Amino acid sequence: MSKSLLADASIRLENALKHVDISDDAIERLKYPKTSLMVSIPIRMDDGSLKMFRGYRVRYDDTRGPGKGGVRYHPNVSLDEVQSLAFWMTFKCALLDLPFGGAKGGITVDPKALSKAELERLSRGYIEAIADSIGPDTDILAPDVYTNAMIMGWMMDQYSIIHRRIVPGVVTGKPLSMGGSQGRSTATATGAFHVINTVCEKLGRSPEKTTVAVQGFGNAGAEVAQQLANMGYKVVAVSDSRGGIYAEQGLDIPSIRHYKVENRGIKAVYCENTLCNIVEHKVLTNEELLTLDVDILIPAALENQITAQNAHQIKAKLIFEVANGPITSEADKILEQNDIMVVPDILTNAGGVTVSHFEWVQNRNGFYWSATEVKQKLKEKMIREAENVWELAQTKQLSMRTAAYTHALNRLGDALDAKGTRNYFVGSSS
């Protein structure tokens, strides 16, 4: 592998390999993605012009089951990024003991620059291009950055049109009316909330005495901020792509969410009159938010937000990765040297894929669970695996990231080795 996002991500694998006993065959298989698909999507724009978009779908490993992973729309989407995200998904699914492998997809596009009709044509065109590589038993799609239930519905519908039958299980995160699951839209945030609570309880931290900063006030970041605030945590700073705000006494998260919806951004001002309580606040950038003196920092935006360049400036005692890959491997070392605990993305943000699994199961059975059932099943699974990772970290004196990868590797190794290893074949021929 060349030095890239994927190469940086694989360093986490190398660190965990020191603490597991799996075959060389399994290690070799995990070095490379199983399939990497790159497609061109021709779209007729509203003005009559034809524009080409580049799309990707990577299935990294499917030893434990069909590939599973979201589709993101972003100007910076690349094959390297998608391969890295599929790599992380492989370990995330194993860590949560889900019967899935890791996959990911994306389109290089600024979705904000498209009309709704253009967005629909692009989404359906993407499925036309990758239809032979996906399916409910092969590779299952889900929402990610700048994709949502409506887009997932278009994708499921287009796949069903191609195959001339209704196939709800090919996509998760769909509208409820099209076979979606209760609780899916907030699953990533709810899962993160349970992980944060579990770790804070282990450390003896009470919510009322814990300050929180959230970088990335999107679907997951805003919802986890809301749930933490409801529990009594003091959320003192939030930011989106346009900037952020900080108030030492805490922010009124429901009002900020309302304001963001109404104005399409936080815009670094605090709304007035009936929408918000008037509080003194500071305007700050995303970069400044990362360096605030808070107890918990939650990067919930994009990859590579904390690097070797700014890791020394981080003052938070705990970091929970709600985004995928927000901390580079070089930054990891610096944070560990400074006694900052990082709870990794493959655990913290696994609530989304967990409820996606619930949705897939419901689609295949044709029987749907209540919101209460989904919520309880998610809570039990997230707390159980958070406690497993915590115990492994304490027992073997590992970082939470290395413990999470070690736990996942043990499950992956068993599945990979079940197909036969060098020792098995050498032994059988002697």
> 281 and 270 in contact (C-beta within 8 Å)?
yes
Mean pLDDT of 389-406: 94
DSSP track, 300-312: -S-S--B-TTTGG
User: Is residue 260 scored above 80 in pLDDT?
Assistant: no
Q: Please, which residues bridge with residue 72 across strands?
A: 106
pLDDT category, 398, cuts 50, 70, 90?
Answer: very high
CA distance 114 to 128: 19
Which comes out higher in pLDDT, residue 423 or 328? 328
What percent of the chain shows pLDDT beyond 70?
Answer: 91
Distance of CA 140 to the CA centre of its chain: 15
Distance of CA 194 to the CA centre of its chain: 15
Domains assigned to the chain: 33-168 (3.40.50.10860), 187-348 (3.40.50.720)
Cα 422 off chain centre by: 35
pLDDT tens, residue by residue, 98-115: 999 999 999 999 999 999
**How far is 84 from 78, CA to CA, in rounded Å?**
10
Is the Cβ–Cβ distance between 41 and 75 less than 8 Å? no
Residue 345 CA to residue 270 CA, distance in Å, equals: 30
State the CB neighbour count (10 A cutoff) for residue 13: 18
Residue listed under structure tokens 């094959």: 79
When pLDDT is cut at 50, 70 and 90, the band that residue 12 belongs to is confident
Res. 128: pLDDT tops 60: yes
Please tell me the predicted confidence (pLDDT) of residue 5: 66
Q: Please tell me whether residue 340 adopts helix, strand or coil conformation.
A: coil
The answer to whether residue 209 is catalytic is no
Choice among 68, 92, 104, 317 that is catalytic: 104
pLDDT at 415: 81
As given in the structure block, the two tokens for residue 421 are 């290893």
User: DSSP letter string over 374-420?
Assistant: HHHHHHHHHHHHHHHHHHHHHHHT--HHHHHHHHHHHHHHHHHHTT-
Q: For 56-86, how does the pLDDT look when each residue is reduced to its tens digit (9 = 90+)?
A: 999 999 999 999 999 999 999 999 999 989 9
At residue 222, what are phi and psi to the nearest 5 degrees?
-65, -40
Whether the predicted pLDDT of 15 surpasses 50 = yes
Q: Mean pLDDT for the chain?
A: 89
Q: What is the pLDDT of residue 273?
A: 40
What mean pLDDT is predicted for residues 26-37? Answer: 87
Q: How far apart are CA 288 and CA 170, in angstroms?
A: 41
Tokens of residue 415, six digits: 């599945």
Summarize pLDDT for 326-380 with one digit per residue, the tens.
999 899 999 999 999 999 999 999 999 999 999 999 999 999 999 999 999 999 9
Q: Is the pLDDT of residue 275 over 60?
A: no
How would you list the strands of the sheet with 211-215, edge to edge? 282-284, 243-246, 234-240, 211-215, 296-299, 318-320, 341-343
Angstrom distance (rounded) from CA 66 to CA 310: 38
CA distance 430 to 408: 33
**The predicted structure's pLDDT at residue 243:** 83
Nearest C-alpha neighbor of 375 from the set 392, 354, 396, 346? 354
pLDDT at 425: 64
Window from 10-19, 218-227, 331-340 with minimum mean pLDDT: 10-19
Q: What is the DSSP string of 57-80?
A: EEEEE-TTSSEEEEEEEETT--HH
Query: In this model, does residue 419 exceed pLDDT 80?
Result: no
- What average pLDDT does the segment 275-298 reach? 80
**269 pLDDT higher than 80:** no
- Entry pTM: 0.87
